[in-house]
Amino acid sequence: MVTPKASESSPKTLTALLRQRFRPLLERLARGLARLGVTPNAVTLLGLAGNGVAAVWLAQGRITWAGWLLLFIWPLDALDGALARLRGVPTPFGGVLDSVVDRYSELLVWGGLLVYYLSQESSIPIILIYLAAGGSLMVSYTKARGEAQGFRVEGGLLTRVERFLILVPCLLLNRPLIAIWAIAILANFTAIQRLWIVFRQALPSASINPPTSSQE
């Protein structure tokens, strides 16, 4: 069994690695915000607002500007958690709010790109955006559903950080379609990959205690 300490010392995802490497910087920024009286939930909602503005710019075709804005607000995703730990008030609601806002933030960005390509009357990007948005949500849902059932769902090729690292550079270079193609394919692959992780853990218990009822 892997203890939290061991997991922290050898992160299995890029997200965990970046949080570990940049923790000192995040903690310094969090201390500054705490002195100003800023709350973790305020930081979370500020990130949502920033993604909303970026979505509007994407819909207007201001692709590069949206990329710069997303690059600027991305650290807020980790900063709200650091601020909550510093203030000693991490709450279950705050964690749920952060997760829900993360999903809405991604959907706003995909929605902005969808409006842009609808105005271009190009059908292939629209289909790809549907696949990319759906795959991105399924990556998170598979992890959440698996962990709710007691499985350990770590890893995966394309977590939220990797999606960001693909999308933002392509936006800055005004080549969003490259990112859309990549995420449409790799996000869905990652969702299936995580389902496979759960399946492998379920095999021993499933053979001993077969389920008596099915759930959605």
Tell me the catalytic residues. 102
- What three-state secondary structure class fits 60? coil
Q: What is the CA radius of gyration of the chain?
A: 19
Q: How far apart are CA 194 and CA 182, in angstroms?
A: 18
Token pair in block for residue 168: 């933002």
- What three-state secondary structure class fits 39? coil
Q: How far apart are CA 208 and CA 160, in angstroms?
A: 35
Token pair in block for residue 76: 């807020």
Q: How far apart are CA 82 and CA 109, in angstroms?
A: 25
Alpha-helix residue ranges (DSSP H) falling in 36-122: 40-59, 63-73, 76-87, 92-119
Q: How far apart are CA 206 and CA 178, in angstroms?
A: 41
Q: How far apart are CA 33 and CA 157, in angstroms?
A: 33
